[in-house]
Amino acid sequence: MTQLADDAPIVASRSVGGGLLLAVASATSFGLSGPLAAGLLANGWSPGAIVLARIGLAAIGLAPFTLASLRGRWGQLRGQLTRLLVYGVLAVAGAQFCYFSAVAKMDVGPALLIEYTAPAAVVGWLWLRHGQRPRLLTVFGAVLAALGLVLVLNLVSGAHLAWSGVAWALAAMVGATAYFLISADTGTGLPPLSLAGIGLMIGAAVLALLAVAGILPMHAGTASVAFAPGTVAWWVPLLLLGLVTAAFAYVMGIAASRLLGSRVASFVALLEVVAAVCFAWLLVDQLPGWSQLAGGLLIIAGVVAVKLGDRR
């Protein structure tokens, strides 16, 4: 795993700006998922039905592009089967299932905070497994980003914790860490479209099995969904969840990770929380407070510090 063994970007410095743009686009797209799902949840959809539809639609939408990108690469696909299974089961289905299991046991804020310790886990993995000791500026940026998360998620007012929920959230963090590490791996020879498309197919199959087994409750409806700007048909947010917040977001995230390395890409991904707050303001009228705005600035400052500390 070439990129996991050396997390330095493998491209010219002029491509780093493009990697940052891709990472921001991915984080922004992921951030749209929460507010869109909130409208469906209010109409009686279960979290399991939303996540299965989201991942399934993403896999279907990417299928033609995945097949086209694999032309002439079938031998590489067979050679990377184990890694693809780990990506689909752990980074896609596992992270989704464990997060929703966590929020069923505890408040959303602390569950997200635990899951988003994934960037710190990435830094720890690269240090302990590959000897890539983080610079002081990287550690400082991680601390700033963590403080920003606490403010954005409004945890200073206190929140309900449950040990079972904490365990599920930690499992979701492991899935998110796997997503960043495998996405940044350039040794597979597979293009981002192939990794994203096949990973989503595997993830959708796993989630479908969990649904059939009754582990993932399934409830859905066809009533119109109300958002702050207006009311839309139920399939509109569903298509956006699948094609924008999953298919597009995963492909952009993988491409960004390969340009930036897993460490920087994982910290830029924290902007998803900031984007979620902004989209919640636009779509469901949840106006962010001053502490959340300050937290967003701290996250951005932390990301900048991590990127500067990552220079070699």
Reduce the DSSP state of residue 227 to 3 states and report it: strand
* Single-letter amino acid, residue 178: A
- Mean pLDDT confidence for 119-124: 86
Query: pTM to 2 decimals?
Result: 0.85
* Banded pLDDT at 123 (limits 50, 70, 90): confident
CB 190 within 8 A of CB 87: no
Q: Phi/psi of residue 186, each to 5°?
A: -95, 5
Reduce the DSSP state of residue 226 to 3 states and report it: strand
Long-range contact list for 65-70, CB < 8 A, 24+ apart?
65/193, 65/197, 66/193, 66/194, 66/196, 66/197, 66/198, 66/201, 68/193, 69/191, 69/193, 69/194, 69/197, 70/194
Asked if residue 294 has pLDDT above 90, the reply is no
Asked if residue 236 has pLDDT above 60, the reply is yes
Task: Residue 123: name the closest of 270, 300, 22, 25 by CA.
Answer: 270
Strand pairing partners for 226?
231
Torsion angle defined by CA atoms of residues 225, 229, 230 and 233, in that order, rounded to the nearest 10 degrees: -40
Asked if residue 58 has pLDDT above 50, the reply is yes
* Banded pLDDT at 1 (limits 50, 70, 90): very low
**CA gap 77, 191 in Å, rounded:** 11
Asked if residue 308 has pLDDT above 90, the reply is no
- Residue pointed to by tokens 């959303």: 108
pLDDT at 251: 94
% of the chain surpassing 70 pLDDT: 90
